[in-house]
Amino acid sequence: MSGSGKTTLILESLYPAIKASLNHEVLPQHIKELDASWVNKVDLIDASPIGNNVRSTVATYSGVFDHLRRLYGRLSDQYSAGDFSYNTGKLRCPVCEGTGTISMDIQFLPDIEMTCEHCDGTRYSNDVDSIMYHGHSIKDVMSLTILEALDVFKDIKKIKEKLQILVDLGIGYLTLGEATPALSGGEAQRLKLASEIGKVQDGSIFIFDEPSIGLHPLDVETLLRVFDTLINQKATIIVIEHDLDVIRNSDYIIDMGPEGGQLGGEIIATGTVEEIKQNKNSKIGKYL
């Protein structure tokens, strides 16, 4: 039920308690006891925006941009990898200084962000056009979708691996140059996971706060595959959720209620999907 205490239990109690324990700090005042000796890391993967810095893009946040800069640096006798950074490099647009936008100061009104006319929002000067990989400058690459870039760089192992993870997370339609503050909550959640896929996660807990909101059922299917990948890497996943498909795929369910608000805050049923189905106290069992 909405308002039954899921957020209070997980985000306001369990999560801060584990963080305090890992940092060897005093537990939150309302937590009497915690047994989390096996935990060595806890990550909250929520739908909050990834910062507000327009210089942060899908390419930089995912780590693929570093590999791209190194590749283009090797292709050039004149420039090094650092020169291909649109934040500090020699090849960034001199007008917008690599942001792709110009801020217009209008008195008595909020500033207006306009696309830089000099670089047409690409963040780079025209000097990058002379350095190509398979017909693409680094400026061109930033306008490609992840899926398109995967095809271009299929022979570059480190770049291919990074891009494949993003495709497997279901965000292959995003462009590499997409500013991360502009991503939807679900897109931000999946991008935050990109750096975790492929690592051994023994002793790690990932907490997701309603990750299925706004997702098409096929996208929920992709989300569940991501969960399976993390679990196969020995992670523990805790999900605050209303979606029946996600709940139905859980190993263990904590059903809270019996209602919301003042009538909530109790654990009314726990167990596997089959046990919840047969529990007469469960609110979710009959829907499963």
So what's the pLDDT on residue 141?
97
Residue 27 near residue 261 (C-beta atoms within 8 A): no
Integer angstrom CA distances of residue 119 from 58, 60, 116: 19, 19, 6
- Whether 283 maps to a domain, the answer reads no
The domain tally of the chain equals 2
Domain that holds residue 11: 6-51+182-278
**End position of a domain, from candidates 164, 181, 198:** 181
CATH of the domain at 26: 3.40.50.300
**How many C-alpha atoms does 192 have within 13 Å on its Cβ side?**
21
Of 165, 181, 197, the last residue of a domain is 181
Q: Is residue 258 part of a domain?
A: yes
Separation CA 122–CA 27 (nearest Å): 48
Same domain, 187 and 253: yes
Based on the domain organization, do 121 and 260 belong to the same domain?
Answer: no
The pLDDT assigned to 112 comes to 83
What's the confidence (pLDDT) of residue 202? 92
Q: How many residues does the chain have?
A: 288
**Are 122 and 262 members of one domain?**
no
Question: What DSSP character marks residue 182?
Answer: G
140 within domain boundaries:
yes
Does residue 202 sit within a domain?
Answer: yes
Same domain, 155 and 194: no
Residues 172 and 188 in one domain: no
Burial of 112 (0-12, 13-18, 19+ CB in 10 A): exposed
128 found inside a domain: yes
Write out the DSSP string of 241-277: ---HHHHHT-SSEEEEESSSGGG--EEEEEE-HHHHH
Q: Which pLDDT does position 246 carry in this prediction?
A: 94
Q: For the chain, list residues with pLDDT below 50.
A: none
Cα dist from 99 to 116, 127, 179, 276, whole Å: 8, 17, 10, 52
pLDDT at 75: 95
- In this prediction, residue 197 carries a pLDDT of 87
The pLDDT value recorded for residue 82 is 95
Question: What pLDDT score was predicted for residue 43?
Answer: 94
In a shared domain, residues 122 and 261 = no
In a shared domain, residues 21 and 117: no
Residue 136: which CATH number? 1.20.1580.10
Residues 11 and 65 in one domain: no
Tell me what pLDDT residue 19 has.
Answer: 96
The answer to whether position 284 is within a domain reads: no
Q: What is the DSSP letter of 120?
A: T
Beta strand pairing call for 253-257 and 236-240: unpaired
**Residue 287 domain flag:** no
Residues 175 and 186 in one domain: no
Domain boundary among 147, 181, 215: 181
What confidence score (pLDDT) does residue 46 get? 82
Q: What is the pTM of this model?
A: 0.79
Q: 82 CB contacts (<8 Å, ≥6 apart)?
A: 69, 73, 88, 89
Condensed to tens digits (0 to 9), the pLDDT of residues 32-51 reads 999 999 999 999 988 787 87
Claim to verify: residue 165 and residue 128 sit in the same structural domain: yes
CA dist., res. 231 & res. 7, Å (int): 23
Note whether 74 and 176 are same-domain residues.
Answer: yes
Structure confidence at residue 239 (pLDDT): 96
User: Are residues 236 and 272 both part of a single domain?
Assistant: yes
Q: Is residue 149 part of a domain?
A: yes
